[in-house]
Amino acid sequence: MQQTEPLTKSVIQRLEQAVQDYSAILVAYSGGVDSSVLLHGLVLLRNTKRPDLKLRAIYIHHGLSQQADNWARHCEQTCQQSGVECLIRYVNLEPSGNIESQAREARYESIEQVLLPQEVLCTAQHLDDQCETFLLALKRGSGPTGLSSMPVVTSFGQTQLLRPLLSFSRQQIEQYAQENALSWVEDESNQDDKYDRNFLRLRVLPVLQQRWPQFTQMVSRSAQLCAEQQQLLDELLSEHLSTLTGEQGCLLIEPLLNDSEAKRNALLRLWFKFHNVPMPSRQQLTIIWQEVALAREDATPQFILDNHQIRRYQQCLYLLPAMRPIENIRISWDLKTPINLPDNLGVLTAILEQHMGQLRQPTEQETVSIRFQAQGKFAIVGRTGSRSLKKIWQEYQIAPWLRQRTPLIYYNDTLICAVGVFVTLEGQGTELSISYQ
């Protein structure tokens, strides 16, 4: 490989600038022309200027094409010739639903699982991809955030994602590949215009570029201006948002009541961005405000947003992960070994601490179980009289979504304690403690 052609020099210079602060890179490698140019350029950079650069590549096998096995072999062979470790990962997609979206999510999830500490991800999106992304956001009616399209550098998991080829057009990418006699695979699905991105690429952009040859560059400029506008708005609102944010990142509702709809929506969007979750649409924001934030006082409303839920409690909005129902689960426990709770709730550990614990030990006739709901009234340590579990949760200010996710310890059918919250009179003692992590 010789760095002789002007375009090759330009690409290598751009790559050198983009990765100057990094020494370990994982390349998202599909075998197509775009990622082939990216991998080739990084290998050339490593071999000529950055011998310290550690390169790995990953191919995601979606199983959508009969050629996928051949593509995987091509990627392995190319990487072997270049002295780059190649990872092959297989993902399963549902035949129904948005295949493009599923494939993208599965791809990035697989990539995040294999990233090493201090390693950054490099992807091969280019100027035409940026234009397509902008037009797709325009079709969805997106605001400045969506129209900002793809940044050159963005957060990804615990590291960063780099798109160093965003300033190069598809034509330049193909020219680089020809200059360096690269071989690549052709995905036949790229010619199927039933997919929105392919429709734009095959049917729309050629017409626009024929009329206005600089169209993609101008769209990229608009995307950059939208990004700058959104950054400025975020900077102006960030300090105000910090005054509205309570414990666990919740959002205070009352101060928002006197704000204009535009300002309130901007603050809500910034709150979602702070929590790094997908941005809701304008209609979804309206529903969240009207049906969750402003629901009647005794209601426990919620709104599902992808893999998250928005809940209200004590005049605050909470953004929480999706939770599967576990209230009917019962788990036997011998107290001798730590036990994992369902739905990633944590681990319970029982410790015998004579005269230091809060519970009594079970008798030989009592079996121990973990449950997540209880019926009846209970007398608890530190309170007089008996009351329902709902009343106890309210007194201890336990949020509604935690009330059937807090582990309850039973001896036979007698409630002994709610771990970390209360102990019943039937369970009080000084022999046993249970930690919850």
Binding residues for ATP: 30-35
Taking the CA atoms of 5, 7, 10 and 16 in sequence, report the sign of the dihedral they define. Answer: negative
Whether 28 and 41 have beta carbons less than 8 Å apart is answered as no
Neighbouring C-beta atoms of residue 193, cutoff 10 Å: 14
Distance CA 98, CA 93 (A): 10
3-class DSSP assignment, residue 49 = coil
- Give the DSSP H/E element, type plus range, for residue 408: strand 408-411
Distance CA 368, CA 358 (A): 16
Tell the residue number behind the tokens 């004579």, with chain if given: 354
Distance CA 135, CA 132 (A): 5
Distance CA 183, CA 74 (A): 9
Which residue(s) pair with 208 in the sheet?
none
Distance CA 1, CA 12 (A): 12
Taking the CA atoms of 413, 419, 425 and 429 in sequence, report the sign of the dihedral they define. Answer: positive
Question: Smallest Cα–Cα separation from 93: which of 106, 84, 80?
Answer: 106
Binding-site positions read 30-35
